[in-house]
Amino acid sequence: MLDVILIFIGALCMIAGLAGCILPFLPGPPIAYLGLFILHCTDKVGYSTTQLIVWLLIVVVLQVLDYFTPMLGSKYSGGSKWGNWGCIIGTLAGLLFLPWGIILGPFLGAVIGELLGNKDFSQALKSGFGSLIGFILGTLLKLVVCGYFCYQFIAGFV
């Protein structure tokens, strides 16, 4: 009976993890990893210690990257420190205006930051699009990892 409860909780974690890839207030990959770990605690599935550690390292690296990908996108598209700071501030401000704020915040923040740093509008727009591409890339990376975790969750029963 305990295994059934743990499997159910693990499945809920997997669903919440997938949702967390899109919803910024849920840390998707850590929740999905928790689902795998809970499943590991049952008698039905036993992942190796190596698998659990590698997956945990992937989650940690992904969580760190998630905060930096918009900034890196802005930087690699020619953005300055003004654009990076604008991107950070825009990301934080965007959390107040969910769901669109989390997408538009880094973009608008980078654009406004570059304009305040005396860049011309076209360069500011380029920096803003770079931050948007970085955000989208980070989201896709989270979806891939959580999708893989869901696959491992289901494959554990086969």
Q: What is the pLDDT of residues 33-69, one digit of tens each?
A: 999 999 999 988 889 999 999 999 999 999 888 878 8
Q: What confidence score (pLDDT) does residue 25 get?
A: 75
Contacts (Cβ under 8 Å, ≥6 apart) of 5: none
d(CA 98, CA 86): 18
Q: What confidence score (pLDDT) does residue 118 get?
A: 85
Band of pLDDT at residue 149, cut at 50, 70 and 90? very high
Phi and psi torsions of 118, nearest 5°: 65, 30
Structure tokens at 153: 């969750």
Band of pLDDT at residue 85, cut at 50, 70 and 90? confident
Of 157, 141, 150, 140, nearest to 58 by C-alpha is 141
pLDDT over 90 (residue 11):
yes
State what percent of residues in the chain have pLDDT above 70.
100
d(CA 158, CA 145): 20
pLDDT over 90 (residue 17):
yes
pTM for the predicted model, two decimal places: 0.80
